[in-house]
């Protein structure tokens, strides 16, 4: 039985100079290959373009359709398309021709009209002879008539013949580069020089680097920098914008294009530039043999998923891509829009005739999402995502990890040593001191108190807190609903990244810490939006000194559907923090050190290397302590008697006999003074003048603060075990509780003791002023991270703070919500 399509198709090939043969695919492969080369169709991508152009309305349409029929016959003959696919395409083109030409005469008239508008291999006489031959074939019924074909086509469902098998429909996305004709790939036919292209254009030389780039395009891409620049410049005047442009150096063409968009009111959206290239790169990886079909289609489907979330239709996609291309190339491509996109947007045979919303079904989208989550499932991706907020280039390292280069190792080692004081000999145990749950508790408590107007007064006995610091502190009320763990954890993630880059730490142990970090954040935040909102709130409230705010960067990750934060594995298996979570009473006891030391946000542990040597020198030079035994003995002394006893025995009696005090001062002044006599004289004068309230305030706080300070140093020297350290700070807390009722009382005693027992120095007034300012900061939490007193109840004092709205607080507080 005659095949109506084959017969009609063979008849039309007569117009192309072919001898009539009822089987259109019967041309010898060598002849067909030569003919394709003559028509400048050397791979399937170009064939895809010709088929997409075939049904483009306008000038030359009939000739394009005829040429498509010839290209299909040639492609089928050489095996570029299998017979069913070639026939499906021929049927589509035939139906389109029939739909737009009422008869054979109308079809031939259209071809004659367009004859001079396109290069053809026949001369005019040959073409006219071919038209006569076609008419003769119809008259002789050597095949099928125009009317018979129309009747046959009317009974056939019309389906656009682009690949739709499984997920292969996603390759419609690649049509902007070259339409994909088949559900399988053959690099020889589809992309003969794909590996050279990957190396030259993308600097990609293997599977691992390819996957990292695919994840980067999906998760960050060029749009990240462009979006941030656009957001910052939108609110700036012309002079600021020009300064920005002038600062770009070699990127001034990009800057000019960005300013052009801003000045013309162009929509500031270009994510399609990244996501369409993601699909193209996935196809390249498949052709190169670095991805299997399922992997490549999953990445392409991810691109489609992101596009479907962001854009309403293909036109919006195309315009966004054109803007991105303009920025990337530094030249305005908007005027080229019709030339570049008309075929895809207007041709009846375009792969984009399927609507964008129909590109993927729910099953395909969910499968692609699971694949992307799988790539980002390791806990180390949390470290990358968090650390990349301050170092965006870290997102080039998603996917399959790679060893750091020499420069990265050296920079990481320098940072760990010089900034954090970490030595490789400490191992990952040294990172415990960088996990700061005490700081988190402090910030959460301040936020709760700020929201209820329960923060301390800005005025203290030692002065008034700085207005800017008070403003920052009061602004914490905006953070009350957001747990502060992210404020500390994002820095901790960066420290983990630096440890990994240094190459000096056990990677398995670092990954265990990363798993703990994921568990903590998954517990305190219900999902990426909650975490990012919290991060933005705390970043806005507590910006880094002399560093630009990261709020815009953080919110970009909230709003961009491709951001890695939306694809992390959000779960916690067991509750195990990367470092110790202090109890609230213990944290309070450590805070008794006050301004004598930096705020202690975590339990101290043994130090090594240079940090330990510096501690040893300090203990020797300030206290003459050279051993664990000497330290323990001195700590017992401080807690049991301390400097307060010396005051009570040697100086307090003079407060009852002013005449005797004056005589003692005169006697010492009249003779030669030893160093001890000189110090005694200075203290007598302070008693005489009641310097800093030394005769009014209990100075036991001075002994307590010193005891805690030295206990911390002893623990860091490993002269005290963890149990011994806990016992000592607990004894110090009991001493403070027995002498004072509040942090204000304690601060007065500490200031008086600091003043009274200070040695002779020309900088006394400067030291006193600085210590007073530090006490003010600790009492007022202005600035918020000065110290922990404002967020803590004094040991033994009644509770006065509001409970935070979340559980991110230290244990031991009976008012913690669960």
**Each residue of 31-87: pLDDT tens digit?**
999 999 999 999 999 999 999 999 999 889 999 999 999 999 999 999 999 999 999
Q: Is 124 helix (H, G, I), strand (E, B) or coil?
A: helix
Reply yes or no on whether the pLDDT at 814 is more than 50: no
Model pLDDT, residue 2 = 66
Q: Is 464 helix (H, G, I), strand (E, B) or coil?
A: strand
Q: Decide if 208 contacts 400 (C-beta within 8 A).
A: yes
Q: Using CA atoms, how far apart are residues 108 and 114, in angstroms rounded to an integer?
A: 10
Q: Comparing 162-176, 248-262, 721-735, which segment has the lowest mean pLDDT?
A: 162-176
First to last CA, the chain: 80
Instruction: Supply the pLDDT for residue 659.
Output: 87
Sequence-ordered list of residues with C-beta below 8 angstroms from that of 115, at least 6 positions apart, any chain: 63, 124, 127
Q: What are phi and psi of 67, to 5 degrees?
A: -65, -35
- Rounded-to-integer distance, Cα 163 and Cα 703, Å: 81
User: Does the structure show a pLDDT above 90 at 675?
Assistant: no
Q: Could you count the other beta carbons within 10 Å of the beta carbon of residue 615?
A: 17
Q: Determine the pLDDT at residue 484.
A: 96
**Average pLDDT, integer, range 737-755:** 96
Please state, as a whole number, how many other Cβ atoms lie within 10 Å of the Cβ of residue 659.
Answer: 8
Tokens 């763990």 found at: 485
- Count of Cβ atoms closer than 10 Å to residue 457 Cβ: 10
Q: Please give the Cα distance from 303 to 562 (Å, whole number).
A: 9
pLDDT band at 112 (very low <50, low <70, confident <90, very high): confident
Task: Compute the distance between CA of residue 542 and CA of residue 486 in angstroms, rounded to an integer.
Answer: 12
Over residues 609-622, mean pLDDT = 90
Question: At a CB cut-off of 8 Å and minimum separation 6, what does 116 contact?
Answer: none
pLDDT at residue 713 tops 90: yes
What are the tokens at 368?
């692609």
Q: Which two tokens stand for residue 383?
A: 């470290």
Q: Which tens digits make up the pLDDT trace of 434-486? A: 999 999 999 999 999 999 999 999 999 999 999 999 999 999 999 999 999 99
What mean pLDDT value characterizes the chain?
Answer: 92
Closest CA to 223 of 177, 254, 197, 247: 254
257 HSE (CA, 13 A, CB side): 19
Please write the tens of the pLDDT for every residue from 520-574: 999 999 999 999 999 999 999 999 888 889 999 999 999 999 999 999 999 866 6
In the 8-state DSSP scheme, what is residue 183?
A: S
pLDDT bin (cut points 50, 70, 90) of residue 274 is very high
Distance of CA 3 to the CA centre of its chain: 59
Higher pLDDT, 165 or 290: 290
Which parts of 192-292 fold into alpha helices (H)?
194-202, 207-219, 223-234, 238-246, 252-264, 272-288
Q: How much is the CA Rg of the chain, to the nearest whole Å?
A: 39
Residue 300 CA to residue 168 CA, distance in Å, equals: 9
Q: Is the predicted pLDDT of residue 588 greater than 80, yes or no?
A: yes
pLDDT confidence of residue 817 = 39
Give the count of beta carbons closer than 10 Å to the beta carbon of residue 508: 8
pLDDT at 510 exceeding the cut of 80? yes
**CA–CA distance, 770 with 774 (Å, rounded to integer):** 6
pLDDT of residue 634: 97
**Eight-class DSSP state of 808:** -
Using alpha carbons only, what angle is made at residue 781 by residues 780 and 783, rounded to the nearest 5 degrees?
Answer: 120
- The helix/strand/coil state of 533 is helix
The position carrying tokens 């509750």 is 575
- pLDDT of amino acid 480: 95
Euclidean distance between CA atoms 275 and 308, whole angstroms? 11
Percent of residues in the chain assigned helix, strand, coil, to nearest 5: 65, 0, 30
Looking at the chain, how many residues does it have?
Answer: 818
Q: Could you say which DSSP state residue 418 is in?
A: I
Position 1 confidence tier, pLDDT thresholds 50, 70, 90: very low
Of 293-307, 367-381, 387-401, the range with the lowest mean pLDDT is 387-401
Listed in sequence order, the DSSP H helices in 169-206 are 187-190, 194-202
Residue pair 687/651 in contact by the 8 Å Cβ criterion:
yes
Confidence label for 813 from pLDDT (cuts 50, 70 and 90): very low
Distance CA 786, CA 225 (A): 34
Calpha distance 499→476 (Å, rounded): 32
Q: Count the neighbouring beta carbons within 10 Å of the beta carbon of residue 450.
A: 22
**Using N-to-C axis directions, what is the helix angle for 337-346 and 314-329, rounded to 10°?**
150
Residue 166 or 88, more confident: 88
Distance CA 187, CA 284 (A): 9
Strand positions, DSSP E, 571-727: none
Tokens of 683: 């203290």
Output the six-digit token pair for 163: 């690949």
For the cut 90, the answer to whether the pLDDT of residue 762 exceeds it is no
Residue 498: the pLDDT is: 96
DSSP 460: E
Asked if pLDDT for residue 403 goes beyond 90, the answer is no
């Amino acid at each position: 039985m005659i095949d109506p399509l084959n017969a009609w198709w063979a008849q039309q090939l007569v117009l192309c100079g072919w001898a009539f043969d009822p089987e259109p695919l019967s041309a010898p492969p060598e002849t067909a290959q030569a003919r394709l080369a003559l028509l400048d169709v050397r791979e399937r991508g170009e064939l895809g373009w010709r088929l997409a152009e075939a049904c483009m309305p306008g000038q030359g349409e009939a000739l394009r359709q005829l040429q498509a029929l010839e290209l299909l016959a040639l492609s089928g003959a050489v095996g570029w398309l299998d017979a069913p696919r070639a026939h499906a395409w021929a049927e589509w083109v035939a139906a389109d021709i029939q739909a737009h030409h009422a008869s054979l005469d109308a079809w031939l008239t259209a071809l004659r009209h367009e004859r001079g508008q396109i290069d053809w291999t026949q001369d005019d006489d040959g073409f006219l002879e071919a038209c006569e031959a076609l008419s003769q074939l119809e008259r002789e019924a050597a095949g099928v008539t125009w009317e018979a074909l129309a009747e046959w086509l009317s009974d056939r469902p019309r389906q656009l013949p682009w690949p739709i098998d499984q997920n292969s429909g996603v390759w419609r996305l690649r049509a902007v580069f070259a339409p994909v004709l088949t559900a399988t790939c053959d690099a020889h036919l589809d992309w003969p020089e794909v590996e050279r292209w990957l190396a030259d254009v993308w600097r990609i030389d293997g599977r691992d680097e390819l996957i990292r780039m695919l994840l980067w395009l999906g998760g960050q891409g060029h749009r990240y920098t462009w979006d941030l620049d656009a957001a910052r410049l939108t609110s700036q005047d012309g002079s600021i914008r020009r300064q920005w442009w002038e600062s770009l150096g070699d990127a001034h063409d990009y800057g000019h294009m960005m300013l052009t968009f801003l000045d013309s009111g162009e929509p500031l959206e270009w994510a399609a530039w990244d996501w369409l290239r993601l699909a193209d790169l996935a196809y390249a990886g498949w052709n190169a043999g670095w991805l299997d079909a399922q992997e490549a289609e999953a990445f392409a489907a991810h691109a489609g998923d992101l596009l479907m979330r962001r854009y309403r239709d293909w036109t919006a996609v195309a315009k966004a891509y054109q803007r991105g291309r303009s920025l990337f190339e530094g030249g305005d491509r908007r005027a080229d829009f019709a030339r570049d996109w008309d075929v895809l947007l207007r041709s009846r045979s375009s792969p984009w005739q399927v609507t964008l919303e129909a590109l993927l079904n729910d099953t395909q989208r969910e499968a692609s999402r699971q694949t992307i989550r799988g790539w980002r499932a390791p806990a180390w991706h949390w470290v990358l995502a968090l650390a990349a907020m301050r170092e965006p280039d870290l997102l080039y390292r998603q996917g399959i990890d790679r060893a750091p280069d020499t420069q990265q190792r050296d920079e990481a080692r320098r940072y760990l040593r010089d900034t954090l004081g970490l030595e490789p000999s400490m191992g990952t145990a040294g990172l415990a001191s960088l996990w700061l749950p005490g700081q988190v508790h402090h910030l959460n408590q301040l936020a709760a108190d700020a929201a209820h107007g329960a923060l301390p007064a800005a005025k203290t006995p030692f002065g008034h807190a700085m207005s800017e610091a008070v403003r920052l502190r009061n602004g914490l009320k905006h953070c009350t609903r957001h747990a502060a763990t992210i404020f500390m954890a994002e820095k901790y993630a960066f420290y983990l990244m630096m440890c990994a880059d240094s190459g000096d730490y056990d990677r398995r142990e670092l990954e265990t810490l990363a798993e703990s970090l994921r568990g903590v954040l998954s517990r305190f935040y219900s999902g990426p939006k909650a975490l990012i909102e919290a991060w933005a709130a705390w970043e806005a409230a507590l910006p880094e000194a002399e560093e630009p705010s990261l709020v815009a960067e953080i919110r970009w990750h909230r709003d961009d559907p491709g951001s890695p934060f939306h694809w992390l594995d959000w779960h916690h298996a067991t509750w195990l923090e990367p470092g110790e979570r202090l109890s609230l009473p213990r944290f309070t006891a450590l805070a008794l050190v006050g301004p004598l030391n930096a705020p202690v946000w975590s339990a101290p542990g043994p130090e090594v290397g240079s940090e330990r040597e510096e501690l040893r020198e300090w203990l020797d030079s300030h206290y003459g302590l050279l051993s664990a035994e000497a330290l323990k003995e001195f700590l017992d002394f401080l807690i049991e008697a301390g400097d307060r006893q010396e005051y009570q025995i040697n100086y307090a009696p003079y407060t009852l006999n002013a005449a005797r005090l004056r005589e003692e001062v005169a006697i010492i002044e009249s003779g030669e003074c030893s160093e001890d006599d000189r110090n005694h004289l200075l203290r007598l004068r302070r008693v005489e003048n009641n310097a800093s309230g030394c005769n009014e305030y209990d100075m036991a706080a001075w002994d307590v603060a010193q005891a805690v300070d030295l206990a911390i140093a002893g623990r860091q020297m490993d002269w005290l075990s963890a149990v011994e350290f806990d016992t000592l700070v607990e004894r110090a807390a009991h001493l403070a509780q027995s002498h004072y009722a509040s942090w204000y009382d304690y601060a007065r005693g500490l200031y008086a003791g600091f003043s009274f027992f200070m040695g002779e120095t020309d900088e006394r007034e400067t030291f006193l002023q600085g210590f007073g300012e530090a006490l003010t900061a600790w009492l007022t939490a202005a600035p918020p991270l000065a110290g922990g007193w404002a967020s803590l109840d004094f040991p033994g004092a009644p509770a006065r703070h509001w409970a935070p709205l979340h559980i991110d607080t230290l244990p031991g507080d009976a008012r913690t919500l669960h």
